[in-house]
Amino acid sequence: MARVSDPAVVSGTWFVVRTSLPLWHTRDNPSVTYAPLPDGRVMDTVRFTRRGRPGLIVGLDRPLPGGGWEWRGLSLLTRWTPSRWQVLHAEDVWAVTVFARTPLTPAGLDVYARTRALSPAQEIRAHEVLRGLSGAQPFLADLFFPVHDEG
């Protein structure tokens, strides 16, 4: 597995296919696109729909010493609430990320996939991996499937 703070691990678009974050109870079609920048930071674009309207949150992630990332939003509302997160596990088509608590959000876990849903075999593999990740244990009971429209 690549280094946790290696931009190549997160590069590209990921769909949130499982999550423990309450934010995704009221927003559909969550996806995140990571675009590495020459200075080692990563541009982070979160897209979703809420009541049929598109939503967008843009931020920058900087690698942290020892691994992981610190996200900071680019809007006035999100600029003052940094978020620390890390990749717990990554494979070619899916990954597990965890997020530290912020003043506005609880700590949580996302399972990302390159498609809007995992295949049955990928679901089995993800379940096995999640059970074995100590950093995932606090969030497993709260995992749910966010809504994704057919794309």
Over residues 73-118, the pLDDT tens digits come to: 887 666 678 899 999 999 999 999 999 998 888 999 999 999 999 9
Confirm whether 145 is domain-assigned. Answer: no
Are 122 and 130 spatial neighbours (Cβ–Cβ below 8 Å)?
no
Domain assignment present for residue 149? The answer is: no
Domain-located, residue 146 = no
Q: What is the CATH number of the domain that holds 67?
A: 2.40.128.20
- Tally of domains in the chain: 1
Spell out the residues 6+ positions from residue 92 whose beta carbon is closer than 8 angstroms to its own: 114
Determine the structural domain holding residue 107 and report its residue range. Answer: 7-138
Residue 62 lies in a domain: yes
**pTM > 0.85: yes or no:** yes
